[in-house]
Amino acid sequence: MHNFNSGPSILPRDVLLEAAEAIYNFNNIGLSILEIGHRTEWFKNVIDESRLLVKELLNLDDQFEVLFLHGGATTQFMQVPMNFLSPGKNAAYCVNGIWGKKAITEAKLFGNVNTACSSADQNFTYIPKNLEIPAGSVYLHITSNNTVEGTQWQELPQTNVPLVADMSSDIFSRKRDFAACSLIYAGAQKNAGIAGTTIVIIRKDFLKNKNENVPAILDYQNHILADSLLNTPPVFAIYVSLLTLQWIKKEGGIDEMEKRSLERADFFYDALDRLPLFVPIVKKEDRSRMNAVFTIDDKKLEKKFLDVCSENGLIGIKGHRSIGGLRVSMYNALPMESLELLVKIMEQFSQQYTS
């Protein structure tokens, strides 16, 4: 099987094997990772190393705190404004796809929200370059990579207000000035592990702006003071994140992940652009290295192409239910061999059905 799923997505084989072993016998202690206590020294070592590896891989210093939380990135749509936005305050949001739309909807429950930019006028097929950020905004929120629509911020926007970034689908895949962000959050199930935990990275000085009356379990400061152990954490999901972060480091870190990402994206988009049967959707300069979206004009042929993919063990290529079409996700663990087979099938299919 060749796994192009957008999330939960492909994991490195080494990670799968080690995680499978830990389900039976974690670190040869005679217990499963699924049954150890979250306040034991065994698990404390797991979460401490995970937090340190996040900072090491992203080149962050002690100005930042790292949390592993429940709830997925979707919970962060609510938790960020609950902690930092309130009536009378303003925040700015970039709306470049479905996740930006969902995030701004949640934020409006807590305070005034302004749209800094939107690509809705062209069905979210590009990233706007000019932002309008009202003075005094408590933060600017972006989605660095739009998994559904296949667009990506190639550079983080320059802003004089704190930057909050949902990096769920491209964290650990490319070099960025991560320290330019005041808060980063990312669901783990794309490049950082499995579904069940969300990485949250917060600059300490940003916490000075935090609201006081926040429910205990949703207060970032409480989780920081408890070292992400305020309540029982998703132990297994955090362990798989640790294995994934160890794998990234062993393979060469973010530099190597970006090199491979560029190779995969260049290889695939070259094929997409030269095969007339397949129609790319996103403006070239804003194409995602993680999620390539495209269509076939004849929907019957599109269905036939998906059937051919399935017959050849290529899964996860059907587009998101909200927009349809086709999508190829190219996360860190995807081997080039999978893309080579996909492109070969695309070439054969295009030759067969292009008149």
pLDDT of residue 196: 97
Same domain, 160 and 147: yes
Same domain, 111 and 236: yes
pLDDT tens digits, one per residue of 170-214? 999 999 999 999 999 999 999 999 999 999 999 999 999 999 999
Answer yes or no: 48 catalytic.
Answer: no
Same domain, 223 and 309: no
Alpha-carbon gap, residue 213 to 19, rounded angstroms: 39
Same domain, 60 and 179: yes
Angle at 39 between CA 46 and CA 206, to 5 degrees: 70
Given 89, 170, 190, 219, the catalytic residue: 190
Q: How many domains does the chain have?
A: 2
Answer yes or no: 166 catalytic.
Answer: yes
Angle at 275 between CA 270 and CA 281, to 5 degrees: 75
Answer yes or no: 266 catalytic.
Answer: no
Question: pTM of the entire structure?
Answer: 0.97
Nearest alpha carbon to residue 107 among 146, 132, 143: 143
6 pLDDT above the threshold of 70: yes
pLDDT tens digits, one per residue of 276-307? 999 999 999 999 999 999 999 999 999 999 99
Asked whether the CA dihedral 308, 312, 314, 316 is positive or negative, the reply is positive
Distance spanning both ends of the chain, measured CA to CA = 31
pLDDT of residue 159: 93
Same domain, 63 and 172: yes
In this prediction, residues 47-55 reach a mean pLDDT of 98
Same domain, 309 and 285: yes
Alpha-carbon gap, residue 216 to 231, rounded angstroms: 11
252 pLDDT above the threshold of 70: yes
228, 251, 274: which is the final residue of a domain? 251
Which one has a higher pLDDT value, 219 or 321?
219
Which one has a higher pLDDT value, 355 or 272?
272
Same domain, 145 and 211: yes
pLDDT of residue 322: 85
In this prediction, residues 251-264 reach a mean pLDDT of 98
Same domain, 123 and 199: yes
96 pLDDT above the threshold of 70: yes
Which residues 6+ apart lie within 8 Å of 124 measured at CB?
Answer: 96, 97, 98, 146, 149, 151
355 pLDDT above the threshold of 70: no
Same domain, 283 and 210: no
**Percent with pLDDT over 90 in the chain:** 97
Residue 102 in tokens: 């969902």
Domain that holds residue 309: 2-7+253-353
234, 251, 268: which is the final residue of a domain? 251
Same domain, 106 and 43: yes
239 pLDDT above the threshold of 80: yes
Residue 290: φ, ψ to 5° = -95, -40
Same domain, 246 and 262: no
pLDDT of residue 354: 86
230, 251, 272: which is the final residue of a domain? 251
Residue 224's pLDDT band (cuts 50, 70, 90): very high
Given 89, 153, 166, 219, the catalytic residue: 166
Same domain, 58 and 143: yes
Mean pLDDT, the chain, as a whole number?
97
Interstrand relation of 163-166 and 140-143 (parallel, antiparallel or unpaired): parallel
In this prediction, residues 300-324 reach a mean pLDDT of 95
CATH assignment at residue 333: 3.90.1150.10
